[in-house]
């Protein structure tokens, strides 16, 4: 099967590739054409997932299809952008019909759930990797960024932490657990749900925001540097699921929440005068600390003692001793 037949057979005919609001021209030409309404800006982000680095190989291609798109759309949520479209650059070691059919089904399911259209991409032969470029739209001047946190702002997250990291022993086949524990953890790993609605609600409310991909401590560090503030996290306020606590126990569950990564929930700061309005709207907001004058990120216990661990989160090019 040639490249163009592969694209036509598995992707161009998918429901998510049939265009939608904001897509003037989709798959079939050298470029897609996106229509951005007057007074709005185009938000663009790219994510690459590599076999053996970002996901185990082999794995269920249907689940991989969902995960590979969700982690990219989460970046649009972090900017308060409405998802519009995405492209897929797919590198495959070989063309396997069953694998492609399952992957395309998973991809289409997540695309339709996120309201985003497939508008193009590329295929090539090589080690398995997937690169998604996502496009969203946001009113001019209303995009959420990492650089607006102020001392006194509340530090918040949009959901439970550590579930995806806690699922890794299950994903890798190192441990087993009863379904009531395993299923919610695995769902967080394979089918993270981008918090697009919360991102839209945070426009004009949050002072800084991003999504958690590399671990809470590491990603708090990004906001702290961009905003020129210090962030204090209170350990006892970390939102941990019952499944995670039952599977790992509290000390390991806290470690997964702090440095495990792959949560894909929103991390944001909000002025105290706006917090109650957001909470009244019913969003799953958990206050975990405050922004302060200074720099860096601190984890404190119930007595206010600094207990910040040395390992903050995942880094692709961390130097080893």
Task: Specify whether 178 is located in the same domain as 128.
Answer: no
Same domain, 160 and 134: no
158 and 275 belong to one structural domain: yes
Q: Is residue 112 part of a domain?
A: yes
Mean predicted lDDT score pLDDT of the chain = 92
Do 286 and 213 lie in one domain? The reply is: yes
End-to-end CA distance of the chain: 46
Read off the pTM: 0.92
> Does 245 fall in a domain?
yes
Residue 113 lies in a domain: yes
Tell me if 63 sits within 8 A of 186, measured CB to CB: no
3-state secondary structure of 71: helix
Rounded to an integer, what distance in angstroms lies between the CA atom of residue 156 and that of residue 132?
Answer: 28
CA dihedral 145, 150, 156, 162 (to 10 degrees): 70
10 Å CB burial of residue 257 (0-12, 13-18, 19+) is buried
Entry field: residues in the chain: 321
In a domain, 146, yes or no: no
Shared-domain flag, residues 66 and 160: no
Alpha-carbon distance of 36 to 23, in angstroms, equals 9
The torsion angles phi and psi of 12, rounded to 5 degrees, stand at -65, -30
- Give percent above pLDDT 90 in the chain: 82
Residue where a domain stops, chosen among 106, 139, 172:
139
Residues 72 and 130 in one domain: yes
Looking at the fold, whether 30 and 75 belong to one and the same domain comes out as yes
Q: Do both 55 and 18 map to the same domain?
A: yes
What pLDDT does residue 321 have?
Answer: 37
Structural domain boundaries enclosing 249? 154-300
CATH of the domain at 42: 3.30.1330.10
Let me know if residue 317 belongs to a domain.
no
What is the chain's pLDDT, residue by residue, as a tens digit (321 residues)?
566 677 777 777 788 888 788 899 988 888 999 999 999 999 999 999 999 889 998 999 999 999 999 999 999 999 999 999 999 999 999 888 899 999 999 999 999 999 999 999 888 999 999 999 999 999 999 999 999 999 999 999 999 999 999 999 999 999 999 999 999 999 999 999 999 999 999 999 999 999 999 999 999 999 999 999 999 999 999 999 999 999 999 999 999 999 998 999 999 999 999 999 999 999 989 999 999 999 999 999 999 999 998 765 555 435 443
| pLDDT score of 312 | 59
pLDDT tens for 59-114 read: 999 999 999 999 999 999 999 999 999 999 999 998 888 999 999 999 999 999 99
Same domain? 212 vs 237: yes
- The Cα–Cα gap between 191 and 201 comes to 22
Contact assessment for residue 264 and residue 213, using Cβ atoms and an 8 Å cutoff: yes
pLDDT in the model for residue 207: 98
Residues 129 and 164 in one domain: no
Q: Evaluate whether residue 279 is within a structural domain.
A: yes
Share of the chain above pLDDT 70, in %: 95
Q: Which pLDDT does position 319 carry in this prediction? A: 45
**So what's the pLDDT on residue 290?**
98
Whether 144 and 79 have beta carbons less than 8 Å apart is answered as yes
Domain-located, residue 148: no
Looking at residue 316, its pLDDT comes to: 46
For residue 25, being part of any structural domain is answered with yes
**Same domain? 9 vs 134:** yes
Distance CA 59, CA 53 (A): 13
CATH code of residue 233? 3.90.650.10
Q: Where are the beta strands (DSSP E) in the chain?
A: 23-25, 33-34, 40-50, 82-92, 117-125, 129-139, 154-157, 208-211, 230-234, 266-270, 286-292, 296-300
Residue with tokens 């005919």: 13
Q: Which distant-in-sequence residues (6+ apart) come within 8 Å of 316 by Cβ?
A: 53
Examine the domain organization and report whether 63 and 161 are in the same domain.
Answer: no
């Amino acid at each position: 099967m040639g490249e163009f037949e592969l694209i036509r057979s598995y992707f161009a005919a998918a429901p998510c590739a049939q265009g939608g609001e904001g897509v003037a021209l989709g798959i079939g030409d050298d470029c897609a054409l996106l229509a951005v309404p007057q007074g709005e800006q185009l938000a663009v982000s790219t994510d690459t997932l590599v076999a053996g680095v970002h996901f185990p190989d082999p794995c269920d291609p249907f689940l991989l299809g969902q995960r590979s798109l969700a982690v990219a759309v989460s970046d649009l949520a972090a900017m308060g952008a409405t998802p519009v479209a995405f492209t897929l650059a797919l590198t495959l070691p070989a063309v396997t019909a069953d694998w492609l059919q399952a992957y395309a089904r998973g991809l289409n399911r997540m695309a339709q759930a996120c309201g985003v259209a497939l508008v193009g991409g590329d295929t090539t032969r090589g080690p398995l990797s997937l690169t998604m470029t996502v496009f969203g739209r946001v009113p001019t001047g209303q995009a959420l960024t990492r650089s607006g946190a102020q001392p006194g702002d509340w530090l918040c997250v949009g959901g439970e932490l550590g579930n995806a990291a806690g699922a890794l022993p299950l994903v890798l086949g190192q441990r087993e657990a009863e379904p009531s524990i395993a299923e919610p953890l695995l769902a967080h790993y394979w089918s993270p749900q981008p918090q697009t609605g919360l991102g839209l609600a945070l426009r004009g409310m949050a002072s800084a925001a991003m999504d958690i991909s590399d671990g809470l401590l590491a990603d708090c560090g990004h906001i702290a540097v961009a905003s020129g503030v210090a962030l204090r996290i209170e350990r006892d306020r970390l939102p941990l699921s019952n499944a995670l606590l039952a599977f790992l126990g509290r000390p390991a569950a806290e470690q997964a929440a702090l440095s495990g990564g792959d949560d894909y929930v929103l991390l944001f700061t909000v002025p105290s005068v706006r917090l109650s309005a957001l909470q009244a709207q019913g969003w799953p907001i958990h206050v975990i600390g405050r922004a302060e004058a200074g720099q860096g990120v601190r984890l404190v216990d119930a007595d206010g003692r600094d207990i910040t661990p040395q390992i903050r989160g995942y880094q692709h090019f961390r130097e080893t001793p």
